[in-house]
């Protein structure tokens, strides 16, 4: 399936060529929708990052002047694809430590390269006092 999908992808990373969508989209909105759907299909098929990166880059670069992606359907599908990509493909590139100071007490957390989960500082509500923290 991945090979067939990639054959339909343009060199710029988009999936053009459809006549219209179910919502009768056309033009750039249609290309945004089909590219978002193509990216989602690649992620569902667990395609390699190199196969997926051009589609994600194309979507990121094709915002309009108001930082949306055109019509509602195009924006929703693009955000869905970018959110899924961020959730499944983003990770820390190297190990590190986050340092914070809460009420003049240092708090830190160390993370490993490749970390994808939420980083949570080891503190409780009782560590926070009324006023400036």
SS3 of 100, please? strand
- Exposed/middle/buried for residue 74 (C-beta within 10 Å: 0-12, 13-18, 19+): buried
User: How does residue 133 score in pLDDT terms, banded at 50, 70 and 90?
Assistant: low
Tell me the C-alpha distance between 79 and 63, whole Å.
Answer: 11
| Predicted pLDDT of residue 62 | 94
Angle of CA points 38, 3, 79, to nearest 5°: 15
At 79-123, the pLDDT tens digits run 999 999 988 877 788 999 998 888 788 889 999 988 887 888 887
**Residue 4, SS3?**
helix
Taking each helix axis from N to C end, the angle separating 72-89 and 27-44, rounded to the nearest 10 degrees, works out to 30
Sequence-separated (6 or more) residues with CB below 8 Å from residue 70 = 28, 29, 32, 64
Instruction: Locate the DSSP E strands across the chain.
Output: 96-102, 105-111
**Mean pLDDT, residues 62-85 taken together:** 92
Percent of the chain, pLDDT > 90? 40
What is the pLDDT averaged over residues 44-70?
Answer: 89
- What SS3 class is residue 10? coil
Is pTM beyond 0.85? Reply is: no
Is residue 39 over pLDDT 90? yes
């Amino acid at each position: 399936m991945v090979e067939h999908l990639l054959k339909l992808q343009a060199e710029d990373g988009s999936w053009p060529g459809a006549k219209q969508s179910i919502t009768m989209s056309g033009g750039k909105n249609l290309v945004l929708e089909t590219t978002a759907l193509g990216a989602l299909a690649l992620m569902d098929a667990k395609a390699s990052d190199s196969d997926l990166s051009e589609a994600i880059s194309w979507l990121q670069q094709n915002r309009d002047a108001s930082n949306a992606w055109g019509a509602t359907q195009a924006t929703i599908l693009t955000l869905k694809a970018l959110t899924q990509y961020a959730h499944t493909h983003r990770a820390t590139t190297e190990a590190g430590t986050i340092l914070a100071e809460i009420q003049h007490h240092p708090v830190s957390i160390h993370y490993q390269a490749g970390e994808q989960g939420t980083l949570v500082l080891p503190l409780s509500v009782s560590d926070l006092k009324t006023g400036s923290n």
